[in-house]
């Protein structure tokens, strides 16, 4: 599969934007704020990973990498952090290294970590790319390509899931019932899930795949989001 890089664009408010999907990459209020509220706190971290030997996170939609950076920062700040963190993220249209560096300058709170990510950034070749940080205690597996296809190739048991594709009405493939079923194959009893979306299509797809989900307060202008666990 040929990888089509993401295009570096911004909407009228200055928020990173995808012209291919007609949607922004994160809330206009704050990308780091959304990452922390929806995905880190939405998966009840750091409580759920406390004292674990290995904790595995599966993400759909790496985007700018803000969810990864927020999770990495949380891991660094937590004295009860897991011995090893494995973060696996699927991205169909990754940014190239120059665009990623330009985007990361907008988030100075992540500067020390984002520079390390930029230095390790792989070539935009389809397939799996493994990066290591913190003396190999953090492993980032970037899976470049189609999410439905790559889900079949993954061999893991996720402890937490970050669902972060573009809006369901604009990118239905990332929220399809088939993808939710393949996501469930990689879950175990108690695997948590969180997403900024509260769309009925997303809730119904997760429930049909075996997740128990609930609505809770969203971030910024989003009144609601979904969180839950594999039952």
- Distance (Å, whole) CA 1 – CA 167: 24
Is cis: bond before 191, omega within 30 of 0? no
Of 18, 22, 14, the C-alpha closest to 6 is: 18
Percent of the chain topping pLDDT 90: 98
Overall pTM > 0.85: yes
User: What tokens were used for 147?
Assistant: 């999410």
Predicted pLDDT at 198: 96
Gyration radius (Cα) of the chain, Å:
16
Predicted pLDDT at 184: 97
Strand blocks (E) in 84-191: 84-91, 127-133, 138-144, 160-163
Q: What are the CA-CA distances from residue 25 to residues 29, 132, 133, 166, 196 (Å)?
A: 12, 25, 25, 7, 12
- Distance (Å, whole) CA 55 – CA 48: 9
| 225: pLDDT strictly greater than 90 | yes
């Amino acid at each position: 599969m040929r990888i089509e890089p993401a295009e570096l664009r911004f909407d009228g408010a200055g928020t990173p934007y995808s012209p291919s999907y007609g949607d922004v990459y994160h809330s206009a209020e704050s990308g780091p704020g959304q990452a922390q509220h929806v995905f880190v706190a939405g998966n009840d971290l750091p409580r759920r990973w406390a004292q674990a030997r290995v904790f595995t996170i599966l993400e759909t939609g790496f985007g700018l990498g803000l969810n990864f950076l927020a999770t990495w920062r949380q891991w660094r700040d937590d004295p009860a952090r897991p011995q090893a963190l494995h973060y696996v993220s699927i991205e169909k249209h990754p940014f190239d290294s120059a665009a990623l560096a330009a985007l990361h300058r907008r988030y100075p709170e992540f500067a020390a970590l984002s520079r390390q990510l930029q230095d390790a950034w792989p070539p935009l070749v389809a397939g799996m790319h493994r990066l290591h940080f913190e003396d190999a205690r953090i492993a980032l597996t970037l899976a470049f390509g189609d999410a439905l296809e790559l889900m079949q190739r993954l061999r893991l048991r996720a402890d937490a899931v970050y669902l972060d594709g573009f809006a369901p009405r604009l990118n239905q493939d990332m929220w399809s019932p088939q993808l939710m079923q393949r996501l469930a194959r990689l879950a175990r009893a108690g695997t948590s899930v969180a997403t900024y979306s509260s769309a009925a299509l997303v809730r119904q797809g997760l429930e049909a795949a075996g997740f128990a989900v609930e609505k809770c307060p969203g971030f910024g202008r989003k009144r609601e989001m979904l969180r839950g666990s594999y039952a």
